[in-house]
Amino acid sequence: MIPTSDFLTKKRTGGRHTPEEICSFIKAYVSGEVADYQMSAWLMAVCINGLDPDETVALTEAMIASGETIDLSTLPGITIDKHSTGGVGDKTTLVLGPLLASAGLTMAKMSGRGLGITGGTLDKLESIPGFSTQLTKEQFLAQAASIGCVLAGHTGNLVPADKKIYALRDVTATVECISLIASSVMSKKIACGASTILLDVKAGSGAFMKDIESARKLARTMIEIGNMMGRKTIAAITGMEQPLGLAVGNSIEVAESIETLRGGGPSDLHELCIELGALLLEVTGLSESHAAAKERLEGLIASGAALEKFREVISAQGGDTRVLDDPALLPQVAYSRPILAGSSGFIQSVNAYAIGRAAGMLGAGRQRKEDTIDPSSGVVLKKKAGDSVEVGEEVAVLLYNNAACVESAAEAVSSACKIGPDTPAVSPLVLETLGF
Ligand code: URA
């Protein structure tokens, strides 16, 4: 191993690391030989001078090697995983997991909790009474083999280097760096073992990547890492100017996912799930064209097969399957407050980030890891961009149990929904696909 100060100087002065240097540095950081302040200095140098593709792959490999990995190669069928770079109201995993399992793919997915705005997939699932996301590796693999879908938290010690480095990036202004984001995401995806990975890279006001160029760059970097590491990796760049669907919270997002699996639900959520699902059916060779794949998925929703698959998942993970027939059995709030339009016209935009923040203020998210989430609170939109609206009509409803932040949340939602006289141009949901 080269001395740490030489390693740091190399990146600070724009040099290129060898894979061995990166591997030793990450190992030394996880074992405590390299201090947080040294790692912070390197992360900042990487943010300024970047990592080339070989360095990025070396970092991803070193992070994977820091912990356990899951071997899904013994499972029947083709194993798939999907990752969304994070969006407001994004509940696609809850729909896509059962839907694709009912089509014959195996989604053995480990998800995270939300930090920042709203809850993550685990928080949403845990709002189903009794649902357990803490499975042993054996339970995780057995359920994937028998049902074709398992949605759980990380089993074992996966990618501990990322956990440690991410915590540091969070407080040293080094999150927004494409090589670091790509290696962080892909190390976890690859450690989770699926042979095919779909990346849903969000672009827009509610996403990490605010514009399509940076979303494209992130998608390309992640595809390159995945393919270099032997995983078929594809990506869709999808819009996140406004929240996905109408519900932003936890139990209300589960209810909306159930509705979508029943064939109803908001049209944008339905469309995105069908589009993303079709990409996976196509790339795995289960359908011969995108159109055939979409038709197949629509059929699985219409026949009730996708919803029945979700019933099997909920039952296997100890949840109350009655929520599928009666979503009122999901946690409900004590109070609600409508947000009314201040003028007539058309909704020009609904700022995703602001709606996410408002849901967080009402209790649907956590600011610190140790915070607890209120599973029933959140925001339900009544209008989306392009809809017409009359003065005094409801544009959204706040759902809450604790009124402490309701005034600020109401203000945030009111100003997030912009009304104007003309019909706005609404951009398509899927902006681009890459990696085919
Ligand atoms: N999500 C991750 O897992 N890692 C990042 O670096 C950013 C978002």
- Most informative mutation of 154, 171, 184 for ligand 1 (most atoms within 8 A of CB): 184
pLDDT above 80 for 303: yes
Residue pLDDT, tens place only, 72-83? 999 988 999 999
pLDDT confidence of residue 323: 98
Sheet bearing 149-152, strands edge to edge = 149-152, 106-110, 79-84, 196-203, 232-239, 430-434
Pocket test for ligand 1, best of 170, 175, 177 (most atoms within 8 A of CB): 175
Q: Is any ligand 1 atom within 6 A of the Cβ of residue 323?
A: no
Query: What's the gap in Å between 278 CA and the centre of ligand 1?
Result: 25
Residue 291 reports pLDDT greater than 80 = yes
Q: Which residue has the tokens 């090697």?
A: 65
> Cα–Cα distance between 32 and 369 in angstroms, integer?
22
pTM for the full model? 0.95
> Where does 104-190 show beta strands of DSSP type E?
106-110, 149-152
Which atom of ligand 1 lies at the shortest distance from residue 180's CA?
A: 6
Atom of ligand 1 nearest to the CA of 112: 3
Tell the residue number behind the tokens 């083999």, with chain if given: 145
**How many other CB atoms are there within 10 angstroms of residue 403's CB atom?**
13
Query: How far is ligand 1, taken at its centre, from the CA of residue 183, in Å?
Result: 8
User: Does 268 have pLDDT greater than 60?
Assistant: yes
* Beta carbon of 79 within 6 Å of any ligand 1 atom: no
pLDDT higher than threshold 80 for residue 118: no
To test the pocket of ligand 1, the residue of 43, 47, 82, 185 to mutate (highest count of ligand atoms within 8 Å of its CB) is 185
179-219: pLDDT as tens digits? 999 999 999 999 999 999 999 999 988 888 889 999 999 99
Separation of 209 CA from ligand 1 center, angstroms?
A: 12
pLDDT of residue 324: 98
Name the pLDDT band for 298 (thresholds 50, 70, 90).
Answer: very high
| DSSP helix/strand/coil, 260 | helix
Going by alpha carbons, the residue nearest to atom 5 of ligand 1 is 181
Task: Kindly state the average pLDDT of the residues 122-151.
Answer: 97
Give the pLDDT score at 115: 56
Per-residue pLDDT tens for 369-404?
Answer: 778 899 999 999 999 999 999 999 999 999 999 999
Could you write out the DSSP letters of every residue in 223-250?
HHHHHHTT-EEEEEEEE-SS-SSSEEES
Q: How confident is the model at residue 400, as a pLDDT?
A: 98
Q: Which atom of ligand 1 is nearest to the CA of 175?
A: 6
Which residues carry out catalysis?
A: 83, 162, 169, 184, 188
pLDDT score recorded for residue 242: 95
Q: Are 350 and 344 in contact (CB under 8 A)?
A: no
Using the predicted structure, report yes or no on whether residue 309 has a pLDDT greater than 60.
Answer: yes
Quote the percentage of the chain above a pLDDT of 90: 90
What's the pLDDT score for residue 8?
A: 98
Mean pLDDT of the region 308-320: 98
Please say whether the beta carbons of 209 and 181 come within 8 A. Answer: no
Structure tokens at 74: 């013994």
Give, using CA atoms, the residue closest to atom 2 of ligand 1. Answer: 185
Give me the chain's average pLDDT, please: 95
CA dist 254 and 272 (Å) reads: 16
Cβ of 185 less than 6 Å from ligand 1 = yes
pLDDT at 431: 96
How far apart CA 326 and CA 305 sit, in angstroms, is 18
Residue 233: closest CA among 63, 96, 80 = 80
Q: Are strands 335-340 and 394-400 parallel, antiparallel or unpaired?
A: antiparallel
395 CA to centre of ligand 1 in angstroms: 32
368 has pLDDT over 90: no
- Predicted confidence (pLDDT) at residue 426 exceeds the cutoff of 90: no
Average of pLDDT values for 213-232? 97
Nearest-CA residue for ligand 1 atom 1 is 185
Share of the chain above pLDDT 70, in %: 99
**Has residue 133 got a pLDDT over 70?**
yes
pLDDT at 347: 98
pLDDT greater than 90 at residue 134: yes
Q: What residues contact residue 48 under an 8 Å CB cut-off, 6+ apart?
A: 12
